[in-house]
């Protein structure tokens, strides 16, 4: 690879869940450049803007280089032994004093499978199910929505399979901006003549190539999906053979959509009835068709229901279980799928076995070698519940790579809660908005500074090897958790020294990962798609080709009811605020807002407003405006664009503030916050 002493190491990009390969050029343990992994079966060398700027995360001046303890006079650098001893002492004390339920653990979709596995194991060995992570904020409703429908809540087809689809229906999903590399397969399908239908309140770059754009009002997707199903059934376009042979519960769903005609949906969604009719016919007649949905579906008060409405549409048209079809939730973070698989969820053990299931608990306790009854039998607190309980019943919180002060709804209250904790331990790359409230901050290694496996949105498990050294005294999260566990007297249960050792334990703990051994995965150029139960199993790119993962092997239709968003525009708050991503930034922005190139592209919070709304309110492009909801207000600059419908305001959620505006409501099943629709008003400054 070119120059003397320079090596080329293929790593998996730390940003979104497409799982792109990035080749780092390494000299003496330092990254000196990146190159495009043109031979990668995953991304073929393509990278998005964030991927291109990924090197800036290594050696970033803001990186934490040593453990920091908060003192009255400010941050004090401490050694690892001192820091870990202190952390163990505080956690132990709080547990002894308040019981294990006073402990909370925020795991991270930004960390490897091994790290997530270790953190949930630590929590559970300490006797707490209070372990959760930010999947709760993005795709929890996919898990709760799809698990009873298909038997598991994951993308049914690999992302590159989109290229084989003849029809792509994207609902509340904007891969052109959020997953640009994955968009290539949408583009490829379109090149081959596929029909593209996009339902989104905004005319996003994804919608630029759409044959049909359905500008649905935020929060009314279920009405749209119902109306489409109504048309399909009315016109007999459903896949009768598939429904008969592979599903149950269809009749109840038929009844549920009896009255949801396009004309009714038009009044609810704002999408012309004719377009709904066309979309339904196109999707039903053009097979195979893939239904791609994202946080536009999941982040609602009825996210679970909306996910099931998507599933009903895909099942009714037979678009599950064959190449080019599928139900594809595109995950946001690089390892959100893996973190869920590892049981970093308050109600689920590794491999999605409910904590309430005694057999599941017993199996895990046996594997871990701990006394029966160690794992509590009740689900623990979710992310939002932990935040709400912070400083109340929850006395100590360990946050690994999470920044809830920015990412969680009603962010202002979360920050206050963090301040009230007896002990808040943050493990992160940077001193994030949340970490500023911590008592102890431990410097973590970034993606290329540690080895581990990650699972991308399409269940592709890939190994990302360590390429460079962490800056200063930063350490991989796995190292930190293991050392902390040993100081907490759990050393016997944490024998693993390397990520490979941990993965071997995962092979035994998570059946779907049974055959994904370190030896195999390091050699697999495109990773392995779980389920891969045995060493000789090739992996499963397309799920449910023969049978579903439900008890009877059939998919189940769930009748879904539509109820309008809890908050609609009114005289005081006449506009509808929806949130989303921009191409330059990522999640809370703790990484991207520290990257000069990306900050240059998108330096500050803005709100996208239709020009006519702006004209009526008397402001112009670039004006400063205040966005006000019942929960708070933030300032932003105005960006005028007819990409949003009249009456809709869009704000990216990567900047502190946006989530102070959003609704304080969660989906009753998934406990996912309703980020996507809130009533607001704009006040020119």
Partner 1 sequence: MEPFLFVDFSRCIACQACWAACRREHGGVSRLHLLCFQEAAVPLACRQCRKAPCAGFCPEGALVQEEGRGVKFLEERCTHCGLCAAACPFGVLEIVPGPVPDLSRCDLCRRRWEEGLMPVCVLTCPTRALSLDAGGAVGRRRRAQPAAFPVS
**Contact residues: partner 1, CB under 8 A:** 2, 34, 36, 38, 43, 45-53, 55, 176-177, 180-184, 187, 191, 203, 205-206, 208, 583-584, 596-598, 600-601, 641-643
Q: Give the C-alpha distances (Å, rounded to integers) separating 666 from 303, 304, 552, 674, 677.
A: 9, 11, 31, 6, 12
Q: Smallest distance from the beta carbon of 427 to partner 1, in angstroms?
A: 28
Nearest distance, CB of residue 98 and partner 1, angstroms = 48
> How many Å apart are CA 667 and CA 562, to the nearest integer?
13
Compare residues 13 and 405 and give the one whose CB is closer to partner 1. Answer: 13
We find the least distance from the C-beta atom of residue 277 to partner 1, in angstroms, to be: 24
Q: Can you tell me which residue has the tokens 């998570």?
A: 510
CB of 44 to partner 1, least distance (A): 9
- Judged by CB, which is closer to partner 1: 583, or 662? 583
Report whether the peptide linkage leading into residue 515 is cis, meaning its omega lies within 30 degrees of zero: no
Nearer to partner 1, 8 or 70 (CB): 8
In this complex, which beta carbon is closest to partner 1, that of residue 177 or of residue 402?
177
In whole angstroms, how close is the CB of 166 to partner 1 at the nearest point?
16
Strand ordering across the sheet containing 21-27? 6-12, 21-27, 30-36
- Beta carbon of residue 207, minimum distance to partner 1 (angstroms, whole number): 8
- Could you write out the DSSP letters of every residue in 56-108? GGTT-TTS--S-EEEETTEEEE--HHHHHHHHHHHHHHHHHHH-GGGEEEE--
Angle at 55 between CA 52 and CA 56, to 5 degrees: 105
Angle, CA of 158, 159 and 160, to the nearest 5°: 95
Q: Specify the residue, 5 or 193, whose C-beta has the smaller distance to partner 1.
A: 193
The least CB distance from residue 208 to partner 1, in Å, is: 5
The helix/strand/coil state of 76 is: strand
Per-residue DSSP letter, 401:
S
Q: Contact 423/91 with Cβ under 8 angstroms?
A: yes
Say if residues 79 and 486 touch (Cβ distance below 8 Å): no
Q: Of the two residues 555 and 584, which places its CB atom closer to partner 1 in the complex?
A: 584
Structure tokens given for 292: 């791609």
Among residues 387, 343, 340, 337, which one has the least CA distance to residue 125? 343
Token pair 């007896």 is found at 422
- Going by their DSSP bridges, the two strands 528-529 and 460-464 should be labelled as antiparallel
Nearer Cβ to partner 1, position 303 or 332? 332
Q: Quote the least distance from Cβ 49 to partner 1, whole Å.
A: 4
Cβ contact 248:552 at 8 Å: yes
Between residues 206 and 482, which has the closer beta carbon with respect to partner 1?
206
Q: How many helices and strands, by DSSP H and E, does the chain display?
A: 26, 28
- Measured between alpha carbons, how far is 674 from 269 in angstroms, rounded to an integer? 18
Q: What is the DSSP string of 469-502?
A: PPSTT-B-HHHHHHHHHIIIIIGGG----SHHHH
User: Min. distance of Cβ 58 from partner 1 in angstroms?
Assistant: 13
Angstrom distance (rounded) from CA 614 to CA 338: 43
Of the pair 38, 561, the CB lying nearest partner 1 is at 38
CB of 350 to partner 1, least distance (A): 34
The CB-of-517 to partner 1 minimum distance in angstroms stands at 32
Neighbours of 359 (CB within 10 A): 8
For 380, left (φ over 0), alpha (ψ -120 to 50), or beta? beta
The minimum distance between CB 582 and partner 1, in angstroms, equals 9
CB of 496 to partner 1, least distance (A): 37
Cα angle vertex 560, ends 551, 653, to 5°? 100
Cα gap 320→545, rounded to integer Å:
8
Q: What single string gives the DSSP state of each residue in 257-320?
A: TTT--HHHHHHHH---HHHHHHHHHHHHHSSSEEEEE-HHHHSSTTHHHHHHHHHHHHHHTT-S
Q: Which two tokens stand for residue 602?
A: 């998108």
To partner 1, the closest distance from the beta carbon of 48 in angstroms equals 5
Query: Closest CB to partner 1 among 205 and 574?
Result: 205
Residues in contact with 277: Cβ distance below 8 Å, sequence separation at least 6, in sequence order? 231, 262
Q: Which is nearer to partner 1, 601 or 617 (CB)?
A: 601
CB closer to partner 1, 176 vs 636? 176
> What is the C-alpha to C-alpha distance for residues 621 and 641, in angstroms, rounded to an integer?
9
Nearer to partner 1, 49 or 167 (CB): 49
CB closer to partner 1, 600 vs 612: 600
């Amino acid at each position: 690879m070119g120059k003397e002493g320079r090596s080329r190491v293929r790593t998996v990009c730390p940003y979104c869940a497409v799982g792109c390969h990035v080749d780092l050029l390494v000299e003496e343990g330092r990254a000196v450049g990146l190159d495009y992994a043109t031979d990668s079966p995953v991304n073929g060398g393509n990278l998005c803007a964030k991927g291109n700027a990924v090197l800036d995360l290594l050696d970033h001046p803001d990186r934490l280089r040593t453990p920091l303890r908060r003192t009255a006079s400010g941050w004090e650098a401490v050694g690892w032994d001192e820091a870990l001893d202190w952390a163990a002492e505080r956690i132990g004390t709080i547990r002894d004093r308040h019981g294990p339920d006073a402990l909370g653990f925020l795991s991270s979709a930004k960390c490897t499978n091994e790290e997530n596995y270790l953190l949930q194991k630590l929590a559970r060995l300490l006797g707490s199910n209070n372990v959760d992570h930010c999947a709760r904020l993005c795709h929890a409703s996919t898990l709760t929505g799809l698990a009873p429908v298909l038997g598991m809540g994951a993308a049914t087809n690999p992302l590159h399979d989109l290229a084989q689809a003849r029809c792509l229906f994207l609902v509340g999903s904007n891969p052109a901006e959020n997953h640009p590399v994955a968009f290539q397969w949408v583009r490829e399908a379109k090149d081959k003549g596929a029909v593209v239908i996009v339902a989104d309140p905004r005319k996003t770059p994804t919608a630029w190539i759409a044959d049909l754009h359905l500008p649905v009002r935020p929060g009314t997707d279920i009405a749209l999906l119902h109306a489409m199903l109504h048309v399909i059934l009315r016109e007999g376009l459903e896949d009768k053979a598939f429904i008969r042979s592979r599903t149950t519960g269809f009749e109840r769903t038929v009844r549920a959509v009896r009255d949801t005609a396009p004309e009714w949906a038009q009044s609810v969604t704002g999408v012309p009835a004719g377009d709904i009719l066309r979309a339904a016919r196109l999707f039903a007649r053009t097979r195979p068709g893939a239904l791609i949905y994202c946080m536009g579906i999941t982040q609602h008060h009825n996210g679970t229901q909306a996910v099931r409405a998507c599933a009903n549409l895909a099942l009714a048209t037979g678009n599950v279980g064959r190449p080019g079809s599928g139900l594809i939730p595109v995950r946001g973070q690089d390892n959100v799928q893996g973190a869920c698989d590892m049981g970093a969820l308050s109600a689920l053990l590794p491999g999605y076995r409910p904590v309430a299931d005694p057999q599941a608990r017993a199996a895990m306790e046996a594997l871990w070698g701990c006394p029966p009854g160690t794992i509590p039998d009740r689900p623990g607190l979710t992310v939002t519940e932990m935040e709400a309980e912070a400083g109340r019943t929850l006395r100590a919180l360990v946050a690994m790579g999470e920044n809830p002060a920015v990412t969680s709804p009603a962010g202002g209250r979360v920050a206050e809660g963090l301040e009230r904790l007896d002990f808040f331990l943050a493990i992160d790359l940077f001193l994030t908005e949340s970490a500023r409230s911590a008592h102890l901050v431990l410097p973590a290694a970034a993606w290329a500074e540690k080895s581990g496996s990650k699972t991308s949105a399409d269940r592709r498990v890939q190994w990302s090897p360590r390429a460079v050294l962490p800056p200063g005294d930063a350490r991989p999260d796995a190292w930190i958790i293991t050392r902390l566990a040993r100081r907490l007297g759990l050393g016997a249960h944490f024998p693993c020294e390397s990520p490979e050792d941990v993965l071997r334990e995962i092979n035994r703990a998570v059946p779907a990962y049974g055959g994904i051994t370190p030896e195999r995965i390091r050699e697999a150029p495109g990773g392995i798609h779980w389920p891969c139960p045995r060493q000789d199993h090739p992996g499963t790119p397309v799920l449910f080709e023969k049978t579903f993962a439900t008890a009877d092997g059939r998919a189940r239709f769930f009748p879904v009811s539509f109820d309008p968003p809890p908050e609609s525009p009114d005289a005081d708050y006449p506009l509808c605020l929806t949130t989303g991503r921009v191409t330059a930034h990522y999640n809370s922005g703790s990484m991207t807002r520290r990257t000069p190139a990306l900050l240059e592209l998108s330096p500050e919070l803005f709100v996208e407003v239709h020009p006519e709304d702006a004209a009526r309110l008397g402001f112009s492009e670039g004006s400063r405006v205040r966005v006000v909801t019942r929960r708070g207000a933030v300032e932003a600059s105005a960006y005028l664009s007819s990409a949003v419908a009249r009456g809709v305001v869009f704000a990216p959620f990567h900047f502190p503030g946006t989530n102070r505006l959003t609704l304080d409501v969660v989906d009753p099943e998934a406990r996912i916050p309703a980020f996507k629709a809130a009533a607001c008003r704009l006040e020119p400054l």
